[in-house]
Amino acid sequence: MSSSDNKDTPAFEASRLGRKDHWDSVYDRELHNYETTGDIGEIWFGSSAATKMVSWVVRTTQPSARILDVGCGNGHLLLDLASRGYTNLTGTDYSAQAVRLAHEIALSDHHTITYAEQDFLDPEQVARVAGSTGFDVVLDKGTYDAICLMPMEDGSVDQKAIDVYPESVARSLADDGVFLITSCNWTEDELVRRFKDHLELFDRVKHTTFAFGGAVGQTVVTVAFKKQPAA
């Protein structure tokens, strides 16, 4: 039985949301819109989810914390943290257009934020960005969701990408680092199973719940994991 089977991977279907060319197109359009209208573009999962993530970081860390936003898009999470006094911020994305957009917005807002292209599934690129110390906090708002929809040539989901991502998170973190993730595709229990080989559940962020058919749920989940001590 494979490690993926042991972690009860949901039956995702491959989607354009998992393709780099799709996001290149999206951010090429958003870059043009920003340069012509000043609109920074879409905030995934809405401003409430983003605000809750930023508030959690502010409540639990110091402004000197070294923070990485994986799949940063237009960089709005880091912009909010910069406005609250955080000074050691890095955002990466595999779309060059997203990196350019985020950089232009940060410059316009007079914030110093490091942005770089990065394939988060490539161990060499992960090591290059993490450096010798790793990050105190790694943020993910929708990036793992998109990776879980990445198609292979035959149209099926790229299971290897789903499995490699938790390893990349662990390699990016400092020894006592924290990973904060917001997802709409995974439940908290599923995320715990997916990351348990490298990370342990540390905290959770509450979102608005709904009740249907006697069950209570929420449209997104946000959970924090701590890196497990080296054996």
Q: What is the pLDDT of residues 91-147, one digit of tens each?
A: 999 999 999 999 999 999 999 999 999 999 999 999 999 999 999 999 999 999 999
When pLDDT is cut at 50, 70 and 90, the band that residue 228 belongs to is confident
Give the predicted TM-score (pTM) of the model: 0.89
Pick the closest to residue 45 from 55, 53, 56, 34 (CA basis).
53
Better pLDDT: 99 or 212: 99
DSSP the chain: --HHHHTT-------GGG-HHHHHHHHHHHHHHHHHH------TTHHHHHHHHHHHHHHHS-TT--EEEET-TT-HHHHHHHHTT---EEEEES-HHHHHHHHHHHHHTT---EEEE--TT-HHHHHHHHTTT-EEEEEEESHHHHHTT-B-TTSSB-HHHHHHHHHHHHHHEEEEEEEEEEESSS-HHHHHHHHTTTEEEEEEE---EEEETTEEEES-EEEEEEEPPP-
**In the predicted model, what is the mean pLDDT of residues 170-177?**
96
Instruction: State the first-to-last Cα distance of the chain, in angstroms, to the nearest integer.
Output: 24
Q: How far apart are CA 3 and CA 126, in angstroms?
A: 22
Q: What does the pLDDT read at residue 53?
A: 97
What is the predicted pLDDT for the residue at 10? Answer: 56
Read off the pLDDT of residues 58-104 as tens digits, 9 standing for 90 and up. 999 999 999 999 999 999 999 999 999 999 999 999 999 999 999 99
Would you say residue 13 has pLDDT above 80? no
pLDDT at position 216 over 90: no
CA 159 remoteness from chain centre: 18
pLDDT for res 8: 55
pLDDT (tens digit per residue) in 29-44: 999 999 999 888 878 7
Q: What is the pLDDT of residues 145-154, one digit of tens each?
A: 999 998 888 8
Q: What is the mean pLDDT of the chain?
A: 88
Is the distance from CB of 193 to CB of 163 less than 8 angstroms?
A: no
pLDDT of residue 20: 83
